[in-house]
Amino acid sequence: MKTLNDFTPEIRNQIPKYIEKALDFGNTFDKESSIKYIHEIYKIAKYDPPIVIFANTLLMYRAFWEILFNKDLKDDKTDKTLQKEIQKKKGRTHSLFLCKEYARGYLAFYHFVSKQFKIKHDNEEKLDILYNLINKAGISCCWFTLKLVLVLKLPKVQWENQLIHSTNSAAVNFDNKEKYYYWKGVKVSKKLIETPEKITKKDLEKNTNAEERRAYIEKLGASKYFGILSSGKGLETIDEDTDEQGFPMKLLSFDFEGTKIQVLECTCPSTRRVYNIYPPSQNCSNVWAAKADTFNGQNLYYRHGDVGLVKEGGTPKKPLQET
């Protein structure tokens, strides 16, 4: 049995290479390898090779789907029906799910474990074939039937710290015909990425999602973000300090339509992302009071995300540990 003790420095040095290869979305595309990959999946699932149709963009994929599948198919089986049949019949597997985009990660993990630790098994040859093909193919997602498979070609994707991200251009690009913008894994507007100087108060008021607001604050900077939101009435720093992990915290105040709003700017120790939290009482005098306010004013002994623990008889000024 292999254990963590078998992770030699040489093996550990291979991990970044596997990760880089698994995240190499859309940078290589070989049509023949993509077709062979799908045919191999169908062969494993004990189905005849289907016809493979490629769509170059997401809009094209949707249009093809409407034409090909959004009707009563009397002589074929749709995606869901086919998958149910695979689950019921003995000797058939969930192999078709290996056509999804995250199959690269699964197969990379298999290949790493199998080859680096020299583990032999019955499906080794099949999985080796799939691993070699998937790194040449460019499959984003598929719609399956018994006779035909519709494939969305992978777009070119930019990554940073294993998150889809680009600071000044589209992070997801379908052959320059369709583009999508992301900030550290969060989908945002083209305007924020390409022309942030044109962001208006109306743009910011549309953001109801906390992660999206965080992306806007990080891209624009807190001062500019709250300055726009308060119609240029400025941003006041009430208090600032450093948390136990060495990250800066600020308690900010700004005017929003005649009302003073308090915001605590802090950093998640695990992800290093900057967040802006609104203290419920909106009447805090310093950063520690604002942080405690998010837990009904309790002095926390330990804090893990949205979970806080209080130690009986202990009243620490600030959490002794945070994650």
Q: What is the pTM of this model?
A: 0.62
Tell me the chain's radius of gyration from C-alpha atoms. Answer: 26
Q: What percentage of the chain has pLDDT greater than the value 90?
A: 19
Q: Domains of the chain: which residue ranges?
A: 4-154, 159-220, 235-323
Mind listing the pLDDT tens digit for each residue in 250-281?
A: 998 877 667 788 888 888 777 777 777 888 88
What are phi and psi for residue 223, nearest 5 degrees? -60, -45
DSSP state of 154: P
Give the pLDDT confidence score for residue 72 in this predicted structure: 47
Q: Say how far apart CA 29 and CA 19 lie, in whole Å.
A: 18
Mind listing the pLDDT tens digit for each residue in 99-115?
A: 666 677 888 888 888 88
What are phi and psi for residue 41, nearest 5 degrees? -60, -45
Mind listing the pLDDT tens digit for each residue in 235-246?
A: 788 999 998 788
Give the pLDDT confidence score for residue 194 in this predicted structure: 96
Q: Which long-range contacts (C-beta less than 8 Å, at least 24 apart) are formed by 275-282?
A: 275/210, 275/214, 276/213, 276/214, 276/217, 276/222, 276/252
101 C-beta neighbours (distance < 10 Å), count? 17
Of the candidates 53, 41, 37, which has an alpha carbon nearest to the alpha carbon of residue 133? 37
Residue whose entry in the numeric block shows the structure tokens 């450093």: 242
